[in-house]
Amino acid sequence: MDDNIEEKSKGIDFIRQIIDKDNETGKYDSRVHTRFPPEPNGFLHIGHAKSICLNYGIVKEYGGKFNLRFDDTNPSKEETEYVESIIEDVRWLGADWENRLFYASDYFEQLYEYAERLIKIGKAYICDLSADEIREYRGTLTEPGKNSPYRDRSIDENLDLFRKMRAGEFADGEKTLRAKIDMSSPNLNMRDPVIYRILHTAHHRTGDKWCIYPMYDFTHCLSDSIERITHSLCTLEFEDHRPLYDWYLDQLEIYHPQQIEFARLNLSHTILSKRKLLQLVESKMVSGWDDPRMPTIAGFRRRGYTPESIRDFCNRIGIAKADSLVDIALLEHCIREDLNVHANRVMVVLDPVKVIIDNYPDDKVEWLDAVNNPEDESAGTHKIAFSREIYIERDDFMENPPKKYFRLYPGNEVRLKHAYYITCTDVVKDENGEIIEIHCTYDPESIGGGTVDGRRVKGTLHFVSAKHTVPVEVRLYENLFTIPEPNNPPDDKTFIDFINSDSLKILKCCLAEPYLANAKQGDRFQFMRRGYFCVDIDSTENNLVFNRTVTLRDTWAKMQKKISK
């Protein structure tokens, strides 16, 4: 209850306002029943997550029910593989359909009967027009259509023909069942839409039982009705299908859900169109639907995103009817916020350069304590190794540093995280001028990373002990596209022209601390000063592979960028 009050003061979205009103008036006996109705013709993406979170979130808040229903009415595009991935993704996101997993194909017999009923009340007819002819007869946006010459067939003839359609007596495309509505309606959806088409194609669930398949518009609203859905939430483009749904439901005199439309999600620097995502997959521009650069649920999961962070994102973007483009920075903020509290800190050097601490004993090894998570004391500590030779990041050293660079450079003292202060004394290069060794001295008094004299160092570096490393592979990801709106490319370009060639960098020679040796697939860590990473499914015992989920916020990089501009 308190939660509700708080929600209200923050302003609830217009859909929840409608539900509140319906509950007050008792429109559906205060029942709230939603559903998520995907077509199994591709993987779910973050836009679907928005819908799932909306539908399921409402159900949790109102104590209602939530169905998962596959709208599988087009056998030529749908596959069991997609059904399986969708079930996995919805479950991973945390939505619970209990025992209500349905398929529109479960209703084929019922739907067929509804269709016969329409014929029997004179509201549907068999049309012999070809696809092209139907288009011609439909008219245009500004001109009304013409009645089909087959529009006035008798009920008996229609019924007979429809049964013959079902019996397989006609070839694909030879006939359709059409609603008899109004060919001059300004709403093209009402110009005698097709209800059933002939498709001699096996269905992933019903096999070859059917050779006629109902169209989406007919199936969808009736499926919602059959399931006693109260609020059918869908995206804006179905707004002018609503009169058609109302028409079907009214003609058949059956239970009538309330459809409410909201704006679909657009995310910057990526693409959320199943057709285009399929194109990326089929052209091998990405490794698959679950490529960590893909905006699919499977992609985000593999990338290291948590379901919590995606739900948080979906709650933050809100629900409205205005077309919008959400900045992907918000999604990144959500995963950082989650992982900051939950990911253990470890040290991994991505691009190693050797540092020799000349005054540290040759054969000595110390095992020092490292706090796992400064944000969560209960996360505990682990041991890290320290010895005379260590590796640090190549970009944590500069011979001639710019102003405000407070990492390692000749004469400068920095802190090695959890270990000692070191001061750079010398640099050794090879014949190409490449730095191969950095020499330092350390202050034994600074053990643990502080000194009794309280002197300050500005820089703190991560490192690994040279003799105590785990070699790992690291995959760095960036946005898949270089422009904010690849869906709306400038000039005569296409989204393909803006694929980011730097969206994946594979680093094969990274060095991790021993603590990571036992990391398992899916484990998430913060690599200190580098970002959040998770163990990829490509990982094996001999080759640990980490995906960078997201970088840390990097004010130094930001400063550099500004200077270079």
- Taking the complex as a whole, the smallest distance from the CB of residue 545 to RNA amounts, in Å, to 21
Instruction: Tell me whether residue 191 or residue 303 sits nearer to RNA (CB atom).
Output: 191
Active site residue 39: yes
Distance between CA atoms of residues 470 and 451, nearest Å:
30
For residue 390, which phi and psi values (nearest 5 degrees)? -135, 170
- Residues paired with residue 357 on neighbouring β-strands, in sequence order: 440
Name the helix (H) or strand (E) containing 48: helix 46-62
Residue pair 367/468 in contact (Cβ under 8 Å)? The answer is: no
| Count of C-beta atoms within a 10 Å radius of residue 59 | 21
- Taking the complex as a whole, the smallest distance from the CB of residue 151 to RNA amounts, in Å, to 14
Q: How far is CA 81 from CA 74, 202, 209, 301, 321, in A?
A: 15, 15, 21, 18, 33
Instruction: Tell me whether residue 230 or residue 446 sits nearer to RNA (CB atom).
Output: 446
Instruction: Tell me whether residue 291 or residue 295 sits nearer to RNA (CB atom).
Output: 295
Distance between CA atoms of residues 478 and 491, nearest Å:
24
Instruction: Tell me whether residue 194 or residue 249 sits nearer to RNA (CB atom).
Output: 194
- Taking the complex as a whole, the smallest distance from the CB of residue 163 to RNA amounts, in Å, to 18
Residue 230 DSSP label = S
Instruction: Tell me whether residue 502 or residue 554 sits nearer to RNA (CB atom).
Output: 554
For residue 203, which phi and psi values (nearest 5 degrees)? -100, 145
Distance between CA atoms of residues 120 and 114, nearest Å:
10
Active site residue 274: yes
Instruction: Tell me whether residue 330 or residue 356 sits nearer to RNA (CB atom).
Output: 330
What value does the CA radius of gyration of the chain take, rounded to a whole number of Å?
A: 31
- Taking the complex as a whole, the smallest distance from the CB of residue 416 to RNA amounts, in Å, to 8
- Taking the complex as a whole, the smallest distance from the CB of residue 161 to RNA amounts, in Å, to 13
Residues found in the chain: 565
- Taking the complex as a whole, the smallest distance from the CB of residue 550 to RNA amounts, in Å, to 10
Name the helix (H) or strand (E) containing 302: helix 297-303
Residue pair 106/158 in contact (Cβ under 8 Å)? The answer is: no
Indicate which residue of 16, 35, 39, 415 is catalytic: 39
- Taking the complex as a whole, the smallest distance from the CB of residue 398 to RNA amounts, in Å, to 9
- Taking the complex as a whole, the smallest distance from the CB of residue 408 to RNA amounts, in Å, to 10
Instruction: Tell me whether residue 379 or residue 427 sits nearer to RNA (CB atom).
Output: 379
Helix intervals (H) in 184-271: 216-226, 242-252
- Residues paired with residue 427 on neighbouring β-strands, in sequence order: 438
Residue pair 312/337 in contact (Cβ under 8 Å)? The answer is: yes
Indicate which residue of 100, 123, 146, 264 is catalytic: 264
- Residues paired with residue 207 on neighbouring β-strands, in sequence order: 203
- CB within 8 A of 51, min separation 6: which ones? 36, 233, 235
Indicate which residue of 274, 311, 336, 388 is catalytic: 274
SS3 call for 306: coil
Active site residue 366: no
Residue 267 DSSP label = B
Distance between CA atoms of residues 406 and 412, nearest Å:
8
Instruction: Tell me whether residue 227 or residue 291 sits nearer to RNA (CB atom).
Output: 227
- Taking the complex as a whole, the smallest distance from the CB of residue 500 to RNA amounts, in Å, to 19
Instruction: Tell me whether residue 79 or residue 538 sits nearer to RNA (CB atom).
Output: 79
Residue pair 248/225 in contact (Cβ under 8 Å)? The answer is: no
Distance between CA atoms of residues 151 and 180, nearest Å:
7
Instruction: Tell me whether residue 145 or residue 291 sits nearer to RNA (CB atom).
Output: 145
For residue 103, which phi and psi values (nearest 5 degrees)? -135, 140
- Taking the complex as a whole, the smallest distance from the CB of residue 509 to RNA amounts, in Å, to 22
For residue 89, which phi and psi values (nearest 5 degrees)? -70, -40
Edge-to-edge order in the sheet of strand 194-198:
124-127, 176-179, 194-198, 212-214
Hey, which residues are catalytic here?
A: 39, 264, 274
